[in-house]
Amino acid sequence: MPAPLNLLKINVIEISNAMQVSANGINDHGQIVGEFNDRHGIAHGFVYQEGCFVQVDYPNMTAINLYKINNLGQFVGSVTDVNGNVHGFYYDRGTLSAPLSNGPGATYFSGINNRGEIVGTVFAPGGSKGFLYKAGQFITPNLPPGATQTGFQAINDAGEVAGISVDAKGTHGIVYIESLGIFTAPFDFPGTNVTYPQAISDSGSVGGQYVAPNGKDAPFVSLAGSLVSVNIPNAPNGASILGVNARGQVCGNSIDANNVHHGYMGVLAL
């Protein structure tokens, strides 16, 4: 197994009066989107770049979560209404879209590429399914062979979608190739049956987390066809990689000894 990677130039994203912080997506300009919980436990979104922070809220919604941002500054996420229903939404040129749902169940918009193509997951009573949202239409691919559920987390400009496939053996990483309408073979980080890809770069590099033998989340990236673990400092209770860009920058979530969640950004030491 390849030796674990370290991060260089690590920046912890601190937000005043925030209880929990997660950095969920990063574009090639280093702009980061994510969310934080305030002292009342309410989730707010944020956009962050080089120490500048902008809070994002959605009118008449009880919570907002931001997941990915593209190079045009468009981002996607989810909002929760007063009845507890979850809807996807996107932001484009100063405007938040209406709440959007892919049928019954909770709809999450979790990824967007530079062509404005969106991916996400709907969680319905029968299980979860990944979908694409293009030109105002929801497209839900059939499940791959043997799978009972899927989830889509990110999409690159080549139309490669990183996500998960769930079967009787566990939760596996998978890539859906939009142009061909096919899934790649499921993959797992060695020694685990729970692998969650969360991001995919335009070069096809995948980042995410797996469940380690101690039961805690541990981050990984793919390099030259191999999955490699990444050391995140000051994260004894787990960490994840949630965003990766073309400059080798990653962002994500780390959990300290007091179970406080911190957002971070760093550069992979390749």
Please check whether residue 248 lies inside any domain of the structure: yes
Residue 1 included in any domain: no
- Split into its structural domains, the chain has a count of 1
CATH number of residue 171's parent domain: 2.120.10.30
Estimate to the nearest angstrom the gap between the alpha carbon of 186 and the chain centroid.
18
**With 0-12 CB in 10 A as exposed, 13-18 as middle and 19+ as buried, what is 142?**
exposed
Neighbour count for residue 162 (Cβ, 10 Å) = 31
The CB-side HSE value for 19 (13 A sphere, CA atoms) comes to 8
Q: How far apart are CA 157 and CA 72, in angstroms?
A: 13
Measured in whole angstroms, the distance separating CA 70 from the mean position of its chain's CA atoms is: 13
Q: How far apart are CA 153 and CA 108, in angstroms?
A: 9
- C-alpha span between 69 and 72 (Å, rounded): 8
Domain that holds residue 192: 7-268
Contact 132, 139 (CB under 8 A): yes
Q: Is residue 221 part of a domain?
A: yes
Helix (H, G, I), strand (E, B) or coil at 123: strand
Residue 63 domain-assigned (yes or no): yes
What radius of gyration, in Å, describes the C-alpha atoms of the chain?
17
DSSP H/E element including 268:
strand 261-268
CA–CA distance, 138 with 101 (Å, rounded to integer):
9
**pLDDT digits (tens), the chain, 270 positions:** 678 899 888 899 988 888 899 999 999 999 999 999 998 889 999 999 988 899 999 999 999 999 999 999 999 999 999 999 999 999 998 999 999 999 999 999 999 999 999 999 999 988 999 999 999 999 999 999 999 999 999 999 999 999 999 999 999 999 999 999 999 999 999 999 999 999 999 988 999 999 999 999 999 999 878 999 999 999 999 999 999 999 999 999 999 999 999 999 999 987
Q: Per residue in 207-244, pLDDT tens?
A: 999 999 999 999 999 987 899 999 999 999 999 999 99
Q: Is residue 2 part of a domain?
A: no
The answer to whether residue 155 sits within a structural domain is: yes
